[in-house]
C-alpha cells in the first residue's frame, strides 16, 4: 500500500493508492502551523494500515528533503521545513517528495499515456490555478523538476497584464507575477477591492456569469494565463497544456483561457485540456512518480 499526500495552500489530502487506483481518500483544510500539521496528518491516516511507501505532492519547492516557499505568503512555516524526515520518522518507510504541480503534470501525462491510443503528448505543461498558480513540465516523456526543483513555476513568470486592483508585489518578492492575477487568492483579492466587500473566488465565478466587472476580472486572469502558455510554448514547444486546480476547473475557466489563447497570434498552438484526474492529479501523480 502506498500513501499519497497532497499539500496545498488551502487543503491537505491523503489517499491510499493500490495499483494506481485510489482506494480511500480523506481531505482536511490546510493548517497554519508546524505543530498542527502533524496532528492533521494523524487525522488523515487514522485507522489506515501502515504504508510501504509515502509519496508527497506539495506546494513549494523541494531541496534535499526540505520544503521551501517561492511565495512566502502561502504557508508561513514552509521555510526549510524537514518534511521528508518528519514523515520518515512517523511512517518508518521511504518517503518521496514532489512539488504539487510537477506531480500533477506527471499524473496527467501518465493518464494520457495509459490510454494507449498512441496520441499521448511527449511535451506537456500542467498549470494549477489554485491557492497559488503552479506548473509542472513533462518534456520528451520525462518529468523535469530542474536542478533546484523550480522547473515549471509558471505562477512566477511575468504576466503581461496588471491585476484589476493595480500592481501587487508577489510573495516571492517580484512585481508582475501571474500568481498575483490568476490564483484563487488573487481573484478574491481583486474582487474584494472592485466590489468593496469580501468575496471569495467561487463567488466571483458565480457573479462572472452575468456581471460585467466580475467577468472582466476573470477574463483578465484567463488572458494572463493564455499569455503565459504562449510564452512557455515558444520556449519549450508544447504538445498539450492541462489546466487543473479548483480555479482552473471552475465553471467556464477553461473556455475563457481557450478563447484568450485562440485570440493570440501563436504558431502551432498546443492542445488545451482540463485535468482528467481532477482534484486527484497531485495524489495520483505522486503515486505514479514512484512506480
Among 200, 231, 269, 276, interactor with ligand ADP by CB under 6 A:
200
C-alpha–C-alpha distance, residues 224 and 183, integer Å: 11
- Which residue lies nearer to ligand BMX by CB, 75 or 96? 75
For residues 20-30, one letter each, b for 16 or more C-beta atoms within 10 angstroms of the residue's C-beta and e for the rest, the string is eebeebeeeeb
Report how far residue 267's alpha carbon sits from residue 201's, in angstroms, rounded to the nearest whole number.
33
Helix residue ranges, H only, the chain: 34-45, 83-91, 100-113, 179-182, 184-195, 201-208, 212-236, 245-248, 253-262, 281-290
Binding residue (CB under 6 A) for ligand ADP from 136, 171, 245, 285? 245
Which of ligand ADP, Zn ion, ligand BMX, none interacts with 250 (beta carbon under 5 to 8 A by kind)? ligand ADP
Residue span binding ligand ADP (CB under 6 A) among the ranges 33-41, 135-143, 162-170, 246-254: 246-254
Residue 99: name its binding partner from ligand ADP, ligand BMX, Zn ion, none (Cβ under 5 to 8 Å by kind): ligand BMX
CB of 276 to ligand ADP, least distance (A): 16
- Contact call for residues 26 and 68 (beta carbons, < 8 A): no
Residue 190 interacts with ligand ADP (CB under 6 A)?
A: no
Q: Are 288 and 276 in contact (CB under 8 A)?
A: no
User: Which residues of this protein are in contact with ligand BMX, per CB under 6 A?
Assistant: 8-9, 59-61, 69-71, 74-75, 78, 99-101, 128, 130-134, 153, 155, 179
Cβ neighbour number for residue 172 with a 10 Å cutoff: 18
Q: Binding to Zn ion by residue 177, rule CB under 5 A?
A: yes
Question: Residue 280: CB partners within 8 Å, gap ≥ 6?
Answer: 15, 22, 25, 107
Task: Determine the 3-state secondary structure of 282 from DSSP.
Answer: helix
170 binds, among Zn ion, ligand ADP, ligand BMX, none (CB under 5 to 8 A by kind): Zn ion
How many residues does the structure list for the chain? 291
Q: Which residues contact 68 (CB under 8 A, 6 or more apart)?
A: 60, 61, 62, 78, 79, 80
The DSSP output letter for 265 is -
For Zn ion, what does the binding mask look like between residues 118 and 157, x meaning CB under 5 A? Answer: --------------------------------------x-
Q: Which is nearer to Zn ion, 51 or 155 (CB)?
A: 155
246 binds, among ligand ADP, Zn ion, ligand BMX, none (CB under 5 to 8 A by kind): ligand ADP
Quote the least distance from Cβ 265 to ligand ADP, whole Å: 30
Q: Contact residues for ligand ADP (CB under 6 A)?
A: 8-11, 30, 130-131, 184-185, 200-202, 205, 245-247, 250
Amino acid at each position: 500500500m502506498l500513501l499519497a499526500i497532497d499539500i496545498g495552500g488551502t487543503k491537505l489530502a491523503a489517499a491510499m493508492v493500490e495499483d494506481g487506483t485510489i482506494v480511500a481518500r480523506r481531505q482536511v483544510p490546510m493548517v497554519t502551523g508546524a505543530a498542527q500539521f502533524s496532528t492533521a496528518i494523524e487525522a488523515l491516516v487514522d485507522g489506515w494500515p501502515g504504508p510501504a511507501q509515502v509519496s508527497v505532492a506539495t506546494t513549494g519547492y523541494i531541496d534535499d528533503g526540505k520544503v521551501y516557499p517561492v511565495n512566502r505568503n502561502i504557508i508561513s512555516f514552509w521555510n526549510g521545513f524537514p518534511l521528508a524526515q518528519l514523515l520518515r520518522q512517523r511512517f518508518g518507510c521511504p518517503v518521496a517528495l514532489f512539488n504539487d504541480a510537477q506531480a500533477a503534470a506527471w499524473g496527467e501525462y501518465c493518464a494520457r499515456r495509459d490510454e494507449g491510443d498512441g496520441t499521448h503528448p511527449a511535451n506537456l505543461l500542467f498549470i494549477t490555478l489554485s491557492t497559488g498558480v503552479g506548473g509542472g513540465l513533462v518534456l520528451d516523456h520525462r518529468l523535469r523538476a530542474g536542478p533546484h526543483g523550480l522547473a515549471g513555476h509558471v505562477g512566477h513568470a511575468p504576466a503581461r497584464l496588471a491585476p484589476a486592483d493595480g500592481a501587487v508585489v508577489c510573495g516571492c518578492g517580484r512585481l508582475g507575477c501571474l500568481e498575483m492575477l490568476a490564483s484563487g487568492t488573487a481573484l478574491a483579492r481583486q474582487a474584494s477591492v472592485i466590489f468593496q466587500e469580501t468575496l471569495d473566488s467561487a463567488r466571483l465565478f458565480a457573479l462572472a456569469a452575468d456581471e460585467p466587472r466580475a467577468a472582466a476580472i476573470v477574463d483578465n486572469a484567463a488572458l494572463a494565463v493564455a499569455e503565459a502558455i504562449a510564452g512557455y510554448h515558444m520556449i519549450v514547444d508544447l504538445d498539450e497544456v492541462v489546466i487543473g486546480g479548483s480555479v482552473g476547473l471552475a465553471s467556464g475557466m477553461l473556455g475563457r483561457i481557450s478563447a484568450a489563447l485562440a485570440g493570440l497570434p501563436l504558431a502551432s498552438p498546443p492542445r488545451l485540456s482540463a485535468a482528467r484526474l481532477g482534484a486527484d492529479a497531485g495524489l495520483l501523480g505522486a503515486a505514479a512518480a514512484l512506480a
